[in-house]
Amino acid sequence: METIHLNENHTPLNDNSHLKEIIRDLGLKITQQRLAILNHVVTGKAHFTAQAAFESLSKTHPEIGFATVYRFLRKLSENGYVTEVRMGGLPARYEWAHKKHHDHLTCTKCQGIVEFENQEIEELQEKIADQFGFVLTDHVLELFGLCPKCQTKEGELPVPKNRFSSHLEPNN
Amino acid sequence: METIHLNENHTPLNDNSHLKEIIRDLGLKITQQRLAILNHVVTGKAHFTAQAAFESLSKTHPEIGFATVYRFLRKLSENGYVTEVRMGGLPARYEWAHKKHHDHLTCTKCQGIVEFENQEIEELQEKIADQFGFVLTDHVLELFGLCPKCQTKEGELPVPKNRFSSHLEPNN
DNA sequence: CCCCAAATGAGAATGACTTTCATTTTTAAC
DNA sequence: GTTAAAAATGAAAGTCATTCTCATTTGGGG
Ligand SMILES: [Mn+2]
Ligand SMILES: [Mn+2]
Ligand SMILES: [Zn+2]
Ligand SMILES: [Zn+2]
């Protein structure tokens, strides 16, 4: 029994059916927490940390615990629904894996991220794995540099040398 | 005043001059700890963790502190003398950066590492950065898969799904 | 409705670093 | 060689992301 009703702001409630579908597919029970988290993952901005998600969710769902956020994000990434990206020793960042595969080009100064896709590189990776008799299952490709803006503006890197910090939201 | 003498085992003492050279280049004072650590980095096996280096060094230099190991490894990697490789949330691993640039192909089952170099990919990366107006300064490329051995042997991954663990010494 | 396995969350635990700071070394200057 | 200031060290405490524990709550099949 799924009814659509309006909340106190008279905005239509999200149709959660596809979210429920995903949770069901994971073999998990459908809870308000998981729906809220998943909704945040799907509709919120990409490249968020678990901590950021927790804080954001806390506003509307003060009862949610960070353990639940961590747990569910892990489950989602284990099952390919979200992509976990890590750089250096920095907190993991997540993004809804609805788009086709892509890699990232990150500005080490402003943390801006450009997503790109390069079929040629993907193929070369397969070729390399083949050469060594490996069956390729995954890969990580992250490029770092200075974006056009940051090449002109003076100023030192906000991040210590050799301590990468990709995959953050841009500062500007 | 540098004299070569024999230690109690009548084996020639390492010629530390090139190690001292490196420490000097970093603008640091030459200490026994730094010489020991650097010697370990240069002559020991690659892809070691700070903890492993600390434990190994402790045997011959019981007085050395782990803070010093961490500190010096950080300094070395900041200055390009060692390469720091990280995967997933696992401890950082280091390798002496004497070889030319290479990337890694890691078996997710036995943790075996194959180093490879592919000029074509390197060039494509430059091209991509160019396309977006970035000045490329660094990159991370890690491939994951199953090595020839591990494709045949049965058994589940020793590492949780989606939690990479590249860049460890092989188990077998 | 009932029941119970699954889920939750508060807080403790973990683990990899990093920082602090009192003490020891290094080294440049006599 | 002495000496003194600056740098380095290491023991211990701190930090921080993430995981674990466990008492309590809850979803959903029967
Ligand atoms: Mn992305
Ligand atoms: Mn290597
Ligand atoms: Zn930038
Ligand atoms: Zn293997």
pLDDT of residue B63: 93
pLDDT of residue A27: 96
DSSP3 helix / strand / coil % (chain B, rounded to 5):
35, 20, 45
Give residues whose Cβ lies within 5 Å of ion ligand 1.
Answer: A 95, 115
Distance, CA A103 to ligand 3 centroid (Å)?
17
Longest dimension (CA), chain A: 61
Whether pLDDT at B161 is above 70: no
Give residues whose Cβ lies within 5 Å of ion ligand 2.
Answer: B 95, 115
Chain B CB contacts of A74 under 8 Å are: 162
Amino acid at the residue A150 = C
pLDDT of residue B171: 35
CA closest to C1' of D18 belongs to A70
Q: Which residues, 6 or more positions from B166, have their beta carbon under 8 angstroms from its beta carbon?
A: B85, B87, B88, B104, B106, B108, B111, B113, B142, B144
Residue A105: closest CA among chain B residues belongs to which residue?
B129
Residue B88: DSSP 8-state: T
| pLDDT tens digits for range A22-48 | 999 999 999 999 999 999 999 999 899
| B101-172 carries CATH number 3.30.1490.190 | yes
Roughly how many angstroms between the first and final C-alpha of chain A, as a whole number? 46
CB of A166 nearer than 7 A to strand C: no
Strand C bases contacted by the protein (CB, 7 Å): 6-11, 15-20, 25-27
pLDDT of residue B81: 95
Mean pLDDT within B86-104? 88
Distances (CA, A) of A17 to A24, A78, B165: 10, 22, 36
Q: Do strands B135-146 and B103-107 pair parallel, antiparallel, or not at all (unpaired)?
A: parallel
Which has more pLDDT, A172 or B72? B72
Distances (CA, A) of A78 to A51, A83, A129: 19, 9, 23
Mean pLDDT within B17-40? 96
Q: Domain-by-domain residue ranges, chain A?
A: 1-99, 101-172
Q: Give every residue of chain A whose pLDDT is below 70, as ranges.
A: 1-14, 153-172
pLDDT of residue B5: 40
pLDDT of residue B153: 60
Average pLDDT of the residues of chain B: 82
Which has more pLDDT, B146 or B50? B50
Q: Which two tokens stand for residue A22?
A: 């995903």
pLDDT of residue B112: 79
Distance, CA B88 to ligand 1 centroid (Å)?
16
Whether pLDDT at B91 is above 70: yes
pLDDT of residue A15: 75
CA–CA separation, A149 vs B131, rounded Å?
A: 14
| B1-99 carries CATH number 2.60.40.10 | no
> How many beta-carbon contacts under 8 Å exist across A and B?
129
Q: Do domains A1-99 and A101-172 have the same CATH topology?
A: no
Percent of chain B with pLDDT over 90: 59
Of B4-18, B52-66, B129-143, the least confident? B4-18
CB of A54 nearer than 7 A to strand C: no
Q: How far is B162 from chain A (nearest CA, A)?
A: 5
CB of A30 nearer than 7 A to strand D: yes
